[in-house]
């Protein structure tokens, strides 16, 4: 599932073709994805101007001049790609429609934004912009890890009473927004923290170490266009390439890249998800 860097990369790729532009026509080609689409979604979007394109956690948010915000989740295999961009940032013309093109936005500037999702775990909804923070998909999400609300004091306080493994705690979207399996594995490896350690048992200094490393890992991943392992693509259809910089994730059996370490990366399962870490470096 795309995590914060992938969603932010998609948002940035869509912005030149969507922000400030009118959705001349919205096509909705099925009644649902993971959940049913909102009533009359095509009609509510057609003619609306996108005033801003934002991200909250793993959601792309398109604010409209109608007073509503379109909430977009890519799910497991969802892609949003741009074609026919009049700004010349994308090299391909409009492709032929594909089987899993479930929602298509024909923009007033000639661009076409296509949401393709073979596995249909993605989702879209419309919410009143002024009440967006009360929406059920948004209202329990913690602070953005790249924002000021995510800091050492905040994280220390949130983890103090947690009896869950630190890996599980950092995946909890109520604690911090947007982190998923890939980037938590990478963060904990760089922080030299064993993913099995109880979150509440970590010293304040070790928790403090996590915050800047989270920011660094996410910033590097965004600069690399995210990580493409299976289905993820950027808005221009290109792959991300942060997967080539992984130090832990999906490297089980390979040498640990920590200087001087002679161990290998191990894989365990936590809460049904694979965890990759170095048993020697991460304590």
DSSP string covering 55-114:
EETTEEEEEETTSEEEEEE-TTT-EEEEES-TTS-----PPPP-TTEEEEEEETTS-EEE
Distance of CA 160 to the CA centre of its chain: 26
Terminal alpha carbon distance of the chain: 28
Pairwise CA distance, residues 119 & 183, whole Å: 23
Same domain? For 212 and 109 the reply is no
Number of domains within the chain: 2
Fill in the DSSP letter of residue 37. Answer: P
With both helix axes pointing from N to C terminus, report the angle between 152-159 and 204-223 in degrees, rounded to the nearest 10: 120
pLDDT per residue, tens digit, the chain (283 aa), is: 789 999 999 999 999 999 999 999 999 999 999 999 999 999 999 999 999 999 999 999 999 999 999 999 999 888 899 988 665 555 556 777 778 999 999 999 999 999 999 889 999 999 999 999 999 999 999 999 999 999 999 999 999 999 999 999 999 999 999 999 999 999 999 999 999 999 999 999 999 999 999 999 999 999 988 886 666 666 667 667 688 889 999 999 999 999 999 999 999 999 899 999 999 999 9
Residue 195 lies in a domain: yes
Domain extent at residue 219 = 152-277
Residues serving a catalytic function are 2-3, 58, 273
Widest pairwise Cα distance in the chain: 61
Of 58, 281, 274, the closest CA to residue 185 belongs to: 274
123 shares its domain with 175 = no
CATH number assigned to the domain comprising residue 163: 1.10.8.50
Token readout for 214 is 């989270």
Residue 140 placed within a domain: no
Note the pLDDT of residue 235.
67
Q: Is residue 141 part of a domain?
A: no
**CATH at 104:** 3.20.190.10
139 within domain boundaries:
no
Q: Are strands 266-270 and 123-128 parallel, antiparallel or unpaired?
A: unpaired
Residues 129, 160: one domain?
A: no
The structure's pTM equals 0.91
Strands 123-128 and 59-64: unpaired
Which DSSP helix (H) or strand (E) runs through 269?
Answer: strand 266-270
């Amino acid at each position: 599932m795309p995590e914060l860097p992938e969603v932010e990369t998609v948002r940035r790729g869509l912005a030149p073709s969507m922000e400030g532009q009118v959705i001349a026509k919205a096509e909705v080609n099925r009644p649902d994805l993971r959940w049913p689409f909102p009533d009359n979604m095509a009609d509510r979007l057609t003619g609306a101007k996108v005033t801003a394109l934002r991200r909250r956690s793993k959601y792309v948010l398109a604010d409209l001049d109608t007073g509503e915000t379109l909430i977009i989740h890519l799910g497991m295999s969802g892609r949003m790609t741009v074609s026919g961009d009049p700004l010349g940032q994308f090299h391909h013309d409009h492709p032929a429609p594909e089987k899993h093109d479930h929602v298509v936005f024909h923009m007033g500037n000639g661009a076409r934004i296509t949401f393709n999702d073979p596995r249909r775990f993605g989702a879209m909804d419309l919410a009143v912009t002024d009440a967006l923070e009360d929406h059920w998909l948004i209202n329990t999400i913690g602070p953005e890890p790249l924002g000021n609300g995510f800091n050492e004091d905040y994280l220390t306080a949130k983890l103090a009473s947690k009896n869950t493994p630190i890996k599980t705690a950092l995946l909890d979207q109520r604690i911090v927004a947007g982190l998923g399996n890939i980037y938590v594995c990478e963060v904990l490896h760089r922080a030299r923290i064993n993913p099995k350690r109880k979150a509440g048992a970590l010293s304040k200094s070790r928790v403090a170490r996590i915050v800047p490393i989270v920011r660094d890992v996410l910033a590097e991943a965004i600069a690399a266009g995210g990580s493409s392992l299976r289905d993820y693509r950027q808005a221009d259809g290109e792959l991300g390439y942060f997967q080539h910089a992984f130090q832990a994730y999906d490297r089980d059996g390979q040498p640990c890249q920590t200087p001087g370490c002679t161990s290998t990366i191990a894989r365990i399962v936590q809460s049904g998800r694979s965890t990759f870490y170095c048993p020697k470096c991460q304590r």
